[in-house]
Amino acid sequence: MSGPSARLAANRLVAARLAAARVVFGKELLEGIRDRRALIAVLISISIVPVMFVFLGRFAREVRDEVASMTIPVEGREHAPALAEWLERVPGITLEAAPADPEEAVRNREVDLVLRIPADYGERFAEGRPAELDLIEDSSRAAAGAKASRVNTLLRAYGREVASLRLISRGVSPLLLEPVEVRRAEVFSERRRTAFSVLGIIPMFLLMNAFFGGMQIAADSVAGERERGSIEALLVNAVPGSALVLGKWAAASVFAVFLTGTGLVTCMVLFRFLPGASVEPSLADWGRVALTALPLALFCCALQVVVATYAKSFKEAQTYFGYLAFLPMIPFLAVTLNWVEQGSWATWVPVVGHHLTILTALAGDPVSVGQVVAGFAFSLVGAGALLWFASRLFVRESVVFIR
Amino acid sequence: MIEVSGLRKTFGEVVAVDEVSFVAGDGEVTGLLGPNGAGKSTTMRMLYGLMAPEAGEVRVDGIPVASDPLAAQERLGALPDMHALYPRLSGRENIGYFARLRRVPAADVGHRTEAFSRLLDMDSFLDRRAKGYSHGERSRVLLARALIHEPQNVLLDEPTNGLDVMSTRRMRDMIRELRRQGRAVLFSSHIMQEVSLLCDRIVIIASGRVVAAGAPDAIRRAAGCEDLEEAFVQLTAPRGGGPA
């Protein structure tokens, strides 16, 4: 007899707590919407992804287009007409007269590089001595560096061609010059190359939205409650700490999930306009990204609620959140600097693994179900554990009357 | 009814409250009187279950606060020492929030709020955001918010602190009205006059201990002086350090 009635009482208790949490949630959401600072944060978060795509697009276009079809400024073209003609026959290459002071022009970024042909080029060439060519470049710039290495490759090819002709004219096989022939087989597909160089930054921005979306509400509704002094009056209302924490977390989560989702959809839309993105993630790939990023937003909000519970003021909470902001940057750096890669142990490290899952899915590479599930489960279980901890912390005497 | 027996609370070396006992009965106004730092707020916090006493017990309508704080809180309404409105909500929304947390039926919230608005003269500002409220406006909304669930036991921690004459009067009228309704009202103050005007019983507390308790007349007699204020000074002066 006591069994069913005890269960009924327990159910009623849970229902009462959820009802109270819903009241807190509604109030915090209303206050959040009316908070100018929260709205500014939302606007910044929403605009960050399109801005990122503009820069990514420019970067990708510069690297690709400018190398594919390029103009080489040449000084002293008249000293090497044969070389100039040979270069101009290469598809996409045009020559132009170099500026008056090539070094200065390259330094000032007026041109990316200058090929200088010295006056004694013809003489040395005719005598069979190495004819010197100067390539003036600024290797500190990505696009200029790519151009310079292309010109360098072209000039070597010209040199080899001339050498072959000279050997043939002396009756020697040019094959003697090639004791080894290197054939390069690229296993890193073009898709993945684009993904890892150009798209590497996208997961970071998605994770940042997950981390920052609910920050304002978490700081204001948890630390701000104490700072304003409203917490004591709130806590005498016969509402358990778990209901208060749950409501506040849910309000922060609405913002975080909304902003992460918005970032995701913006990515989906802008992806096809990204130059050089031969990658076309399928709907299933986007689904994997969503299953990874959105629950992580719930986890981030729970983490922020715990952190804000320890903070005496809104400002103090924000200072702590500033340190949390490094979290989404760590996997980005680790992947970009090749410390970790997909499939290694790092796949199972929270946040790093989330980053890798998103990146791999965007690159169109297979992501194991286990990897997606692991990220998903970590987020939800982690959020639950943090909320449980926060519930106990929130009503603790030493925390309520923190000094 | 609130029954307090043998309360003790220390913060490190400092004994904030020691062996405090009293009863605040239904239909009575009980004043907790003492100078600043006497332990009034700490006592109050133990009464509404935000601080755990190291010794002693508090019962609200017979429910022990220590073992069942939520059930005890159901029976009381409080205006704690730290109290603030939510600045981005209007006065009405502030009251409504607590009413919903207290599970006051939605149908009752409206007319109760109107009744408070009439009683405390809040019509002109109740729908404005609380951010711009004057001190007096804020305190009226806070009071209505603390009482919206019509609690049997009312605890007010220095409710008239910093209020002007008119607001103080309104507060007094409100407290008398609560007594008329048969509720147990306990309020703390460091102002003798206020307590003597309102209270049926006075508990004087100094350095964390009860130094006198009873009806105002009884306290006058115990201190051996006609003037209640003089009695207060006598009773709360540090032992041995008072004027001869």
Q: A244-248, B11-15, B81-85 — which is least confidently predicted?
A: B81-85
Give A27's contacts in chain B (Cβ within 8 Å).
86, 89, 93, 97
Q: A91-105, A249-263, B68-82 — which is least confidently predicted?
A: A91-105
What are the pLDDT digits (tens) for B136-149?
899 999 999 999 99
Residue A279 pLDDT: 67
* Partner residue facing A23 (CB), from B45, B85, B100: B100
The band of A194, judged by pLDDT with boundaries at 50, 70 and 90, is low
Whether A120 is in a domain gets the answer yes
Do B7 and B43 meet the contact criterion of CB atoms below 8 Å apart? Answer: yes
Q: Are strands B209-214 and B201-206 parallel, antiparallel or unpaired?
A: antiparallel
Whether A12 is in a domain gets the answer no
**Chain mean position to CA B85:** 18
What residue of B is the nearest CA neighbor of A26? B97
Better pLDDT: A187 or A387: A387
Contact between B97 and A27 using a beta-carbon 8 Å cutoff: yes
Collect all residues with Cβ–Cβ distance below 8 Å to A338 and sequence separation of at least 6.
none
* Partner residue facing A236 (CB), from B78, B97, B142: B78
Query: Which residues of B have a CB under 8 Å from any CB of A?
Result: 45, 48-52, 70-71, 73-74, 76-89, 93, 97-98, 100-103, 142, 145-146
Say yes or no: A273 contacts chain B, CB-CB below 8 A. no
Q: What is the CATH classification number for the domain harbouring A160? A: 3.40.1710.10
**Cα B9 from Cα A390, distance rounded (Å):** 25
One domain for residues A180 and A196: no
Domain final residue pick, B134, B150, B166:
B150
Domain final residue pick, A119, A152, A185:
A185
The band of B2, judged by pLDDT with boundaries at 50, 70 and 90, is very high
Q: What is the CATH classification number for the domain harbouring B200? A: 3.40.50.300
The band of B241, judged by pLDDT with boundaries at 50, 70 and 90, is very low
What residue of A is the nearest CA neighbor of B94? A27
One domain for residues B106 and B52: no
Asked if pLDDT for residue A237 goes beyond 70, the answer is: yes
One domain for residues A93 and A151: yes
**Cα B26 from Cα B14, distance rounded (Å):** 33
One domain for residues A51 and A78: no
Whether A264 is in a domain gets the answer yes
**Cα B109 from Cα A294, distance rounded (Å):** 38
One domain for residues B160 and B42: yes
Q: A38-47, A182-191, A211-220, B74-83 — which is least confidently predicted?
A: A182-191
- Best probe of the A interface among B86, B128, B135, B152, by most A CBs < 10 A, is B86
Residue B240 pLDDT: 46
One domain for residues A313 and A198: yes
In A16-118, where do the E strands start and end?
70-75, 93-97, 113-116
Give B146's contacts in chain A (Cβ within 8 Å).
233
The 3-state DSSP class for residue B157 equals strand
The average pLDDT across A375-384 equals 95
Domain final residue pick, A185, A200, A230:
A185
**Cα B233 from Cα A127, distance rounded (Å):** 117
Contact between B97 and A236 using a beta-carbon 8 Å cutoff: no
One domain for residues A47 and A145: no
Domain final residue pick, B150, B182, B204:
B150
Give B102's contacts in chain A (Cβ within 8 Å).
237-238
The band of B3, judged by pLDDT with boundaries at 50, 70 and 90, is very high
Q: How far does chain B reach from its first CA to its final CA, in angstroms? A: 39
The 3-state DSSP class for residue B2 equals strand
Q: What is the mean pLDDT of chain B?
A: 89
The average pLDDT across A28-51 equals 86
DSSP B194-242: HHHHH-SEEEEEETTEEEEEE-HHHHHHHHT-S-HHHHHHHHHSPTTTS
The band of B165, judged by pLDDT with boundaries at 50, 70 and 90, is confident
One domain for residues B117 and B233: no
One domain for residues B203 and B241: yes
| Angle, vertex CA A253, rays to CA A248 and CA A254, nearest 5 | 105
Whether A211 is in a domain gets the answer yes
Say yes or no: A23 contacts chain B, CB-CB below 8 A. yes
Contact between B146 and A233 using a beta-carbon 8 Å cutoff: yes
The average pLDDT across B194-223 equals 86
DSSP A319-382: HHHHHHTTTTHHHHHHHHTTSS-TTSGGGGSTTHHHHHHHHHHHTT----HHHHHHHHHHHHHH
- Residue A128's domain comprises 69-185
H-state helical runs in A199-240:
202-212, 215-218, 224-228, 231-235
Asked if pLDDT for residue A32 goes beyond 50, the answer is: yes
Residue A62 pLDDT: 64
Asked if pLDDT for residue B91 goes beyond 90, the answer is: yes
Residue A166 pLDDT: 87
The average pLDDT across A2-19 equals 83
The 3-state DSSP class for residue B17 equals strand
Q: A47-51, B81-85, B168-172, B202-206 — which is least confidently predicted?
A: A47-51
Asked if pLDDT for residue B114 goes beyond 90, the answer is: yes
Better pLDDT: A244 or A322: A244
What are the pLDDT digits (tens) for A157-186?
888 888 888 888 888 888 877 777 776 554
One domain for residues B145 and B224: no
Residue B170 pLDDT: 87
One domain for residues A155 and A281: no
Q: A98-107, A185-194, A386-395, B14-23 — which is least confidently predicted?
A: A185-194
H-state helical runs in chain B:
40-47, 69-74, 91-101, 106-120, 135-147, 165-180, 192-198, 216-223, 228-236
Residue A281 pLDDT: 82
Contact between B83 and A232 using a beta-carbon 8 Å cutoff: yes
Q: A67-81, A133-147, B1-15 — which is least confidently predicted?
A: A133-147
Domains held by chain B: number: 2
Asked if pLDDT for residue A23 goes beyond 70, the answer is: yes
Q: A136-140, A370-374, B212-216 — which is least confidently predicted?
A: A136-140
The rounded percent of chain B whose pLDDT value lies above 70 is 97
One domain for residues A209 and A293: yes
**Cα B196 from Cα B182, distance rounded (Å):** 20
What residue of B is the nearest CA neighbor of A18? B101
- Run of H or E including A21: helix A2-33
Domain final residue pick, B133, B150, B167:
B150
The average pLDDT across A98-125 equals 88
One domain for residues A163 and A85: yes
Residue B93 pLDDT: 96
| Tally of CB atoms within 10 A around A155 | 16
Do A203 and A332 meet the contact criterion of CB atoms below 8 Å apart? Answer: yes
- Residue B142's domain comprises 83-150
Residue A66 pLDDT: 55
Q: What is the mean pLDDT of chain A?
A: 85
The rounded percent of chain B whose pLDDT value lies above 90 is 63
Whether A10 is in a domain gets the answer no
**What is the arrangement of strands in the sheet containing B14-24, beginning at the earlier edge strand?**
B14-24, B2-11, B55-60, B63-64
One domain for residues B184 and B98: no
One domain for residues B4 and B18: yes
Say yes or no: A31 contacts chain B, CB-CB below 8 A. yes
Q: Across the strands, what pairs with A94?
A: A71
Whether A26 is in a domain gets the answer yes
Whether A233 is in a domain gets the answer yes
Q: Across the strands, what pairs with B24?
A: B2
Q: Across the strands, what pairs with A115?
A: A74, A135
Contact between B82 and A233 using a beta-carbon 8 Å cutoff: yes
Residue A55 tokens read as: 């820069």
**Cα A134 from Cα B128, distance rounded (Å):** 76
One domain for residues A178 and A200: no
Burial of B70 (0-12, 13-18, 19+ CB in 10 A): middle
Asked if pLDDT for residue A219 goes beyond 70, the answer is: yes
One domain for residues B124 and B180: no
Collect all residues with Cβ–Cβ distance below 8 Å to B63 and sequence separation of at least 6.
B71, B72, B75
Domains held by chain A: number: 2
One domain for residues A200 and A328: yes
CA atoms within 13 A on the CB side of A325: 12
The average pLDDT across A54-67 equals 67
Asked if pLDDT for residue A272 goes beyond 80, the answer is: no
One domain for residues B71 and B165: yes
Q: Closest Cα partner for B150 from B102, B206, B87, B222?
A: B102
One domain for residues B159 and B240: yes
Contact between B73 and A237 using a beta-carbon 8 Å cutoff: yes
Asked if pLDDT for residue A310 goes beyond 80, the answer is: yes
Q: Closest Cα partner for A118 from A138, A105, A137, A136?
A: A136
Q: A53-57, A64-68, A311-315, B176-180 — which is least confidently predicted?
A: A64-68
One domain for residues A110 and A230: no
- Nearest-neighbour CA in chain B from A31: distance (Å): 6
B154: left (phi over 0), alpha (psi -120 to 50) or beta: beta
One domain for residues A323 and A389: yes
Q: Closest Cα partner for A165 from A131, A134, A128, A133?
A: A128
The band of A359, judged by pLDDT with boundaries at 50, 70 and 90, is confident
Say yes or no: A19 contacts chain B, CB-CB below 8 A. yes
What residue of A is the nearest CA neighbor of B48? A236
Residue A374 pLDDT: 93
Residue B36 pLDDT: 84
Whether A64 is in a domain gets the answer no
Question: Alpha-carbon Rg of chain B, whole angstroms?
Answer: 18
| Tally of CB atoms within 10 A around A261 | 18
Q: Which residues of A280-307 are buried (b: 16+ CB within 10 A; e: fewer)?
A: ebeeebbebbbbbbbbbbbbbbbbbbbb
One domain for residues B228 and B213: yes
Better pLDDT: B27 or A157: B27
Q: How far does chain A reach from its first CA to its final CA, in angstroms? A: 49
One domain for residues B2 and B58: yes
The average pLDDT across A211-237 equals 91
Dihedral sign (CA A116, A120, A124, A130): negative
Residues of chain A numbered 242-271 and touching chain B (CB < 8 Å): none
Contact between A235 and B83 using a beta-carbon 8 Å cutoff: no
Domain final residue pick, A136, A170, A185:
A185
* Partner residue facing A229 (CB), from B52, B71, B84: B84
Contact between B87 and A400 using a beta-carbon 8 Å cutoff: no
